[in-house]
């Protein structure tokens, strides 16, 4: 066997070793293993991301919900990444997601089988993250999307996510409130999207500033539900910060501020 062929074989063996380790071993605290939530097609997607060099290691789950699980991963140079995997077995979630896709002019010719919907949902989150980032709204930087898997910047350090506002109140709530209003306006005016599910559960404090995540349900401002969803975001924001004794602006005024010229 030539040296080149031996190197290729060794590289392949290492990839398989990392994949098998990922599938059967959860690195942290006996959390639910990757194997329990991956179907065969998803395993192949993750393996392809490993094989392409986008991912080097996939470690334990850092968050878990009915529709998706998020794993801490790393690149070969040790950079932290988040791998969000939408569960193709979530039939209940499938029913609820259609209202956020249908009516969004960015997505047409929608296939309604579960895998196609989950793939579209992942693409939707990736696109929303990219458009928000381009509008200078702090969000996790999107890295890659393939089928029902989204790879993005990990917000935190060494597998420990940054705290959400639900978990830890900001030191200067009035300043954070004003920053978030600015971000909502940028989403609307520059990215042309509405978050749609904004609350203390999906805002993190990172490096002294609020950062918005979970943009999968975000819709175009042309969506029939966009106005309703924007108002809901503003109500949620005012509810949270009023509890922290911030003198919040009435929702009607905020709405004019966000959508006005």
Taking residue 96's Cβ as centre, other Cβ atoms within 10 Å add up to 11
- Is 233 annotated in the active site? no
Tokens encoding 97: 């997601």
Instruction: State in Å, rounded, how far the first CA of the chain is from the last one.
Output: 69
Catalytic residue among 26, 104, 214, 233: 214
- Say how many C-beta atoms besides its own lie within 10 A of residue 219's C-beta: 26
Q: Is 158 helix (H, G, I), strand (E, B) or coil?
A: coil
94 Cβ partners below 8 Å, 6+ apart?
114, 117, 118
Q: Say what angle helices 226-242 and 173-186 make with each other, to 10 degrees.
A: 170
User: Helices 114-134 and 91-101 meet at what angle, rounded to 10?
Assistant: 50
Q: In whole angstroms, what is the distance from residue 2 CA to residue 41 CA?
A: 34
Catalytic residue of the set 20, 39, 80, 197: 197
Note if 214 is an active site residue.
yes
**Do 61 and 69 form a contact (C-beta atoms < 8 A)?**
yes
Q: State the DSSP H helix or E strand holding residue 156, giving kind and residue range, or none if neither.
A: strand 156-157
Question: Residues with catalytic annotation?
Answer: 197, 214
């Amino acid at each position: 066997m030539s040296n080149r062929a031996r190197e290729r074989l060794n590289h392949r063996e290492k990839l398989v070793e990392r994949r098998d380790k990922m599938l059967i071993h959860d690195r942290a605290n006996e959390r639910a293993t990757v194997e329990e939530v991956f179907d065969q097609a998803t395993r192949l997607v993750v393996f392809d991301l490993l094989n392409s060099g986008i991912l080097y290691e996939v470690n334990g789950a850092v968050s878990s919900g009915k529709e998706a699980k998020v794993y801490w991963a790393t690149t070969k140079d040790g950079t932290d990444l988040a791998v969000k995997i939408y569960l193709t077995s979530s039939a209940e979630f499938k029913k609820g997601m259609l209202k956020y896709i249908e009516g969004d002019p960015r997505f047409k010719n929608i296939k309604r089988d579960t895998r196609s919907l989950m793939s579209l949902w992942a693409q939707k989150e990736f696109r929303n993250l990219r458009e928000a980032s381009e509008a200078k709204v702090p969000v996790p930087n999107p890295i890659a999307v393939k089928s029902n898997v989204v790879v993005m910047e990990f917000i935190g350090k060494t597998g420990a996510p940054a705290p959400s506002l639900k978990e830890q109140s900001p030191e200067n709530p009035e300043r954070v409130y004003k920053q978030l209003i600015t971000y909502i306006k940028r989403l609307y005016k520059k990215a042309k999207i509405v978050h749609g599910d904004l609350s203390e559960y999906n805002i993190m404090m990172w490096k002294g500033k609020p950062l918005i995540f979970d943009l999968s349900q975000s819709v175009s401002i042309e969506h029939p539900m966009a106005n309703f969803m924007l108002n809901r975001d503003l109500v949620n924001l005012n509810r949270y910060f009023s509890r922290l004794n911030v003198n919040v602006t009435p929702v009607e005024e905020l709405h004019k501020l966000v959508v006005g010229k």
